[in-house]
Amino acid sequence: MSSVPEWVLISLIGVLIVLLLLTLFGLAVYSGLLTEVEVRAGPPPIRGVVLAYKFRVGPYDESGNLYTENVSLAPKLVSIGVYYDNPMKVPVEFCRYIVGSILSEGDEKPLPDHVRIFRKHGFKFCVLPEVNHAVMATFPYTTPFSIQLATTRVHPALEKYVKERKLCAHPYVEIYKGDKIIFMCPLSRQDEFYVPEMKELLRKEKGETGQPELAASEMESLLPEEILSLDLVSESPDELEGEDSQKKVHTDSERSPSESGASGSSFEELDLDGSGAAAKAHMDTSKKLGKTTESLEKERAEDIESKSGLHQNGQHFTESRVTGLKDRSRFHQITSQYKKRKEMKFPTLHWSTLVTAL
């Protein structure tokens, strides 16, 4: 068996190397190697956002772990990074940055589930303002290599654009939205892009001591966390349902006798409380009527001349058969009370008992 010539093996190895290089070159082109970086100034493509973030100090290369954590917690949310220091001027181990996810944009409200998830994993919350002008550029985000290519190509272009026009643009913001990476440096309201942790470090660098009064911009950064913790996290559906039921019970207990269907509003002159149960109201009514009839019996015993003509079941009452009543207004009062009581289906009282009381 003849051996394969050496030149054939060398040729095969060469072909494999060429194919490998072509594959890598194609991957680099697909990742954005030949993409033209266009830097411009204008309104950014995003509005004010609420984001969950983590603050870190160290090399920017280590930010990848935070991006991975963001995606694992909420894959559908847009990732964002804010880089405060220039690694060409500040040692990499002292560079400061935040990485997080955008919970809502513009007038949208964050979903409570997202807030709970990120809070559980140690994230904090803040608001980045909407700006009208920013220096920005876009880069394709097709493969993990796109990030490295964008870092080496876009950041130098942004820095060059800012220096040539002598602009005040900071910090550097990266937004990973869909199949592209948005790079922007705000030209206004830059201080509002600094989270409280970063502001505290800046105070220490300036030698400020104590706890200075918070400025308006700082309060705006701190306030959203309190709002989210109260309005979005604590008000779960179960808690809201329980709160509504408590309010309903409280409202029913405070309802006035005239508003309650089982109340004794027909007996207001007798000082009845209609907010109790029906049976209790009936019992109280009977007792109070008994007391009233006893007092009337003592006062009106001599004035009653006729006790007949009253139907046994109390359905017919002839006013003319009671001629001895001196106080006719009291007669009408008791009559109207009796009729109202019958409409409310209270226990029937015999009219003979009422007449006897008079």
CB within 8 Å of 278: residues ≥ 6 apart: 262
**pLDDT (average), residues 223-243:** 45
The SS3 of residue 185 is strand
CB 103 within 8 A of CB 52: yes
Place of tokens 């400020």: 208
Residue 148 has pLDDT above 80, yes or no: yes
pLDDT tens digits, one per residue of 306-344: 444 434 444 444 444 444 444 445 545 655 665 555 555
CATH architecture for segment(s) 40-233:
Alpha-Beta Barrel (3.20)
pTM for this model (two decimals): 0.59
Residue 115 confidence (pLDDT) = 95
The CA distance from 253 to 249, in Å, is: 6
Residues 6+ apart with CB under 8 A from 51: 80, 100, 101, 102, 103, 125, 126, 127, 128
CA–CA distance, 290 with 271 (Å, rounded to integer): 14
Three-state DSSP at 75 gives coil
Calculate the average pLDDT of the chain. 73
pLDDT average, residue stretch 154-171: 94
> For the residues of 98-134, what is the DSSP string, one character each?
EEEEEEEETT----HHHHHHHHHTT-EEEEEPP-S-E
Q: Which residues pair with 50 in a beta bridge?
A: 104, 127
More confident residue, 297 or 106: 106
Q: Which two tokens stand for residue 341?
A: 């009581």
In angstroms, the Cα distances linking 187 to 100, 168, 171 are 22, 6, 9
- Kindly give the pairing relationship between strand 96-105 and strand 180-186: unpaired
The answer to whether 150 and 184 have CB atoms below 8 angstroms apart is no
- In this predicted structure, what is the pLDDT of residue 15? 94
Q: What's the pLDDT tens digit per position in 247-293?
A: 444 444 444 433 444 333 333 333 434 444 444 444 454 454 454 44
Considering just the CA atoms, what is the radius of gyration of the chain in Å?
42
DSSP structure string for 133-151: -EEEEEEE-SSTHHHHHHH
Give residue limits of the domains in the chain.
40-233, 265-357
Checking if the pLDDT of 238 tops 50, the result is no
* Burial grade of 70 (CB within 10 A; 0-12, 13-18, 19 or more): buried
The structure tokens listed for 42 are 């204008």
- Looking at residue 222, its pLDDT comes to 43
DSSP, collapsed to helix, strand or coil, labels residue 159 as: helix
Q: 63-77, 174-188, 227-241: which range is least confident on average?
A: 227-241
| Cα 208 from Cα 186, distance rounded (Å) | 27
Host H or E run for residue 335:
helix 328-343
